[in-house]
Each structure stands twice: as C-alpha cells, then as structure tokens.
Chains A and B, each alone.
Chain A
Amino acid sequence: MPIHEKSLIRPENLITNDSLVIDGVDVSGHWSTFIKSRTITDYNEAMEDEISALPGGENIHRCWQCGSCTNACTVNAVNPDFNPRYWIYLIRQGLEEELLRDKDIIWQCVSCNKCTYACPRDVVPEGVMKATAHWLELKGHTPKSPSTHFDEGFTESILATGKIEEGRVLRTFFQRTGQPLNQPWLVALVGGLVKRFPLGYLIRMGWSTVFRPRTSNWSRTGRAIEEYVSERRAEQAKALGLDTEGGH
C-alpha cells in the first residue's frame, strides 16, 4: 500500500481545475486538486534481490513502511528529499526509474544510526542506504561518490599497514576527488595550529609522514583480508549480473 506524502508528488502529476462543478457543488481551484493516475509497466523485479545481496541490504524485505527511519533521519532534517522510507518502498516495488531521480543524494547518509535505533523491524535502514548507494555505482547509474573514494582510500591504508594515518588518508581523498588541498578553511585551521604550537606540531606531522604508523607482522593478515574481500566482490558482481572482469 503506497503512502502518499504530499512532498513526493511531483507538480506535473497534480491536476487543478480552475473551474469545476461536481454534483452542483463548486470545487474550483484548490478544492479540485487531483493526483493524475499513472500506469507503470517497466518494473525492475531484480532490484530488491540485488540490493539485498550487497552488504547492509540483507534485511530490506522486513520493512513494513512505518516511516520511523525517515522521521528519525539526520539528513532528512537538512534535506527533505532524503527519504529512506520512500526509497525502500521504491526498491521493493521495483520502481527503478523513480529511485534514479534521487540517485545523486542516496550516498549522503551520515551513518548516525538513528534510523536503525528507531526501526521496529530490524531493517537496518542505514545499511540499506549504503547497499543502495553501492548498487547505483556498480550498475553504472552514478560515478563513485566522494564517500566511496574516502572509504576505499581508508580501507586500502588498513590493508597495507593495519592502521591509518590521517594526513595520508586526507591527501589520498583530495587527490582522488580532484580537490585542491589549499581550501581556505583548511589553511586557516592548520595555520592556526602551526602558529600556536610550531615545533611540536611540525615534528609530529613530519614523523608520521616518514614513519608511517603500522601494525607489525601485518602482511599475512592484510593478504587474508584482501583475499576474502575479492571473493565477496566476485559473489556480489555475480548476484548483480555484472561482468566480473570489469566494474568496481
């Protein structure tokens, strides 16, 4: 049963008659607003199964559309178009075209877990948002989001050394997303630090660049994780019907 939130009805689907009389009652203007009925024929029936095959999406089938997730959502409060309940509905119905209208904002989930806390059905909507964002990327609907670039750079660092060094993660991220490092606010921030605590700060920064923090005897562990991740990647590509050679 669809839920009609007024904000979800697009203007082109609303009909308002300037002058209309029904059974002798004048319902002109606002009183005669109707939602245009549509016939949808092209469902993507595989979409729910594909998204539930990706990490985080496993419990999407449990959703009963109560809307607690959207009600609790941090990002929804900033941007009303960010609507997890609605997207879960679209995915379960196979309404791919509708979902794609919001493809560029789904990755913006901040993982605050308010939805997961509120969900009475253990859907883990936070995980579903991540799975959906990955599905969009894997299917080629969106390029890798800044968040995916960040996650990948971060994970690579852990696989290589067992730890992360924030400076390196930051530089990798800015480089991969093609942003300059000299953002005015970043310059102001680092400048303030160096001014107050010049020697100690520079020594520490230099130290961690040269002597990258690492967990010793990590290479075996890193390899074991990498092996597992690439197996999972292949499984996921298969579940999504992708060519395993190319892609992500």
Chain B
Amino acid sequence: MAGDLKKVAYYPGCALEGTGHSYNRSTKEVGKALGLDLVELKNWNCCGAMEVKNVDPQVQTYLSARNLTIAQDMGFDTVMAPCNGCYHNLKKAEYDLTHNPQAAQVTERISKKAGHKAYEPGGVETIHALDWIKHGVGEEELKQRAKGKLAGLKVANYYGCMYTRPRHIFPEKDQGPGSESTSKPHFMDDILAAAGAENVEFPLKTACCGGAHSLSDSDISTKLVLNILTTAEACGAEVIATECPTCHSGLEMHQVRAEKVLGRKTSVKILYFTQLLGMALGLSAKKVGVQENLSDPSEFLRLKGLG
C-alpha cells in the first residue's frame, strides 16, 4: 500500500449514490467507527462502468483517469473505491496509461480540451474497501473491537469478477503470503472471520452474476445468480457477503426474479460486508442502511441478535 490509510481519498461512484446507497452509508459508518477518514473526491465523474468501454475503451480510460487527477490535485496518493466496477476501471486506467501509448494519447487529448491536466500513471494508487480495512486497521484490532459479535453466522464471501479479473491490472495481487489472491480471494473472509463470522467453503467466490446484462439479458443473469444462491445454500451459508453494488443488487434482484419467473425460491440473505462489519462493531441495522437494501433481512438479523 502506498501511504497512510488513516486518511484517503474516497471515490463512491454512481451506483453508491443510487441502488448501492446502503454500501455508501455502511462504508462511511464503518470508517467512522474505526477511525479511518474518507475525503470524497471533489466533482468526480462516472468511471465508465461496464458500458462505456463497449462504445470506446479509450473514453473509459479517460473518464477513470480524470478521477485520479482529482485525487492527485487534492494531495492524495491513495484513492479508495468500494465499488468493484470503479475499482477495476481506475486500476485498468493506471495499467493502460502505463502500457498503451494510444490510451495515454487519447487521455492527453481529451484532458487538454476539457481544460485540466492529464493524469500521469504512478501518481495515485487505487485501493478497494477491502484493502482499506484489512491494511488500514488489521485483523487484530478488528478482533478486539468486534468481540466475536458475528459468532455462529455462516457466511459465503462473494467477490465477483471485477475485483480479480483480468489479473494483469492488479500487480499487487498474487504476490505470496499476505497478498490478495486472484483465484481464491480471501480479504473479505479474513475481515469477517476477525469479527467472529464462520466462513463456509464457497467455490463460487469469483463466479459471474451476469451483472453486465442484469437488464439487457435478464434470463442469463437470473440463471447465473440462482446458481450462486443455491450453491451458497448448499455450502451451508445463511448470508452472502458482498463487496460490489452491481453484484449485490444483481443478487437481490434476480433472487426475486428467480422466484417470480422460474418459481425457484431461495432464502439466503444478501448483505454488504460493511453492513455485517458495522453491526459487529455495534452499529445498528439502520445506521448501516439495511432498510435501503432491496431485500429485507430484518427478521433474520433480529434472530441473530444483530443490529
């Protein structure tokens, strides 16, 4: 990790202002509870999500790079993005601007016309909310603070696609002990285990939820999500912990759709890892935005003595 993680730039992204608002809320609350300061990027823009690259990949690189310029102008060397899509795109921009002269040229050109300095690679490191908590606080402190509050909670940790693929844009991963793995990621497992959760063996940690086609090809998304939900249940999980707003709302939406369209009902709960961690740190369900989730886990949380 670059510098001090006690105060980093924060890039929430569009989804966290919309359907992923509870992820935004719980991330900020967890930060507050753990003494980690977040300073939101001033006047940020969309990173391009999964759509702009299909219109033109270089535009996506520019859009992401503009946010990195803002972080740098604000004097930060680290920006934290909790959304897998944002995190992935900022990482990809960093990679492309280093390795692809055409990408650098287009970013230079559009930045100039837009009237700001073009981002130069190496200026800012992008980290995920998982890196932020794992390295900014650490498991020992989490253990002491959470006092095993999640004990007995059986969790399947679901990371999705964009946190690990393609691996070449994540040079810090797969670097031996202590680093994150792209084939079997474990940072979320580590964090929730420190808070007392019982992580189940879950083979679909990095399976795809079909998020890119959540609406444009709903039937495939429903099939892929149903596979994730039923596998988690078969592995003994009561909760799927998520760390991406697209995955999270995809799982929630298609859990309903699978029931309505295919008649396949599943009961596994879906919560952001920041919501679980927040409640482990003693925050209320309301404080971590559970009421803003599309699905309603309140009865389950009551039974578990959480929130």
Report A's interface with B, CB cutoff 8 A: 55-56, 74-75, 78-79, 108, 110-114, 116-117, 127, 130, 134, 145-152, 154-155, 158, 162-167, 170, 173-174, 177, 184-185, 188-189, 192-193, 196-197, 200-201, 204, 208, 213, 215-218, 220-221, 223-225, 227-229, 232
Contacts and interface: CB of A to CB of B under 8 A. Distances in A.
- Give the 10 A-B residue pairs with the shortest CB-CB distance, closest first: A112-B208, A224-B113, A221-B114, A113-B165, A146-B216, A162-B45, A154-B51, A166-B18, A185-B260, A185-B257
B3 to A, nearest CB: 27
B140 interface: no
A188 to B, nearest CB: 6
Contact of B217 (A108, A151, A193): A108
A208 B58 CA distance: 29
Interface of B: 14-15, 17-19, 21, 43-46, 48-59, 62-63, 66, 106, 109-110, 113-115, 161-162, 164-167, 182, 207-208, 210-213, 215-217, 220-221, 223-224, 252-253, 256-257, 260-261, 291-292, 294-296
A192 B110 contact: no
23 contacts: A55-B54, A110-B211, A110-B217, A110-B224, A113-B166, A117-B182, A148-B54, A150-B215, A151-B51, A151-B55, A155-B55, A158-B45, A164-B49, A165-B18, A185-B261, A188-B260, A189-B294, A197-B291, A201-B292, A215-B44, A218-B45, A221-B45, A224-B110
B19 A166 contact: yes
B217 A147 contact: yes
Contact of A225 (B59, B164, B182): B59
A66 to B, nearest CB: 17
B216 A196 contact: no
B289 to A, nearest CB: 10
Contacts of B257: 185
Contact of B113 (A116, A148, A213, A227): A227
B297 to A, nearest CB: 11
B118 to A, nearest CB: 12
Contacts of B62: 225
Given A173-B216, A192-B294, A208-B18, A225 B110 contact: yes
Nearest to A153: B51
Contacts of B14: 163-166, 213
Nearest to B13: A163
B195 to A, nearest CB: 26
Nearest to B296: A196
B208 A114 contact: yes
Given A110-B220, A232-B58, 5 more contacts: A74-B210, A108-B220, A130-B54, A218-B45, A228-B110
A145 B216 contact: yes
Contacts of B49: 154, 164
Contacts of A152: 55
Given A151-B55, A213-B14, A228-B110, A158 B167 contact: no
Nearest to B215: A173
B45 A147 contact: no
Given A225-B110, A229-B59, A154 B256 contact: no
A201 B19 CA distance: 10
Nearest to B208: A112
Contacts of B66: 221
Contact of A167 (B18, B166, B207, B208): B18
A155 B58 CA distance: 13
Contact of B106 (A78, A189, A228): A228
A109 to B, nearest CB: 8
Contacts of B17: 163, 208, 213
Contact of B57 (A56, A114, A166): A56
A216 B59 CA distance: 19
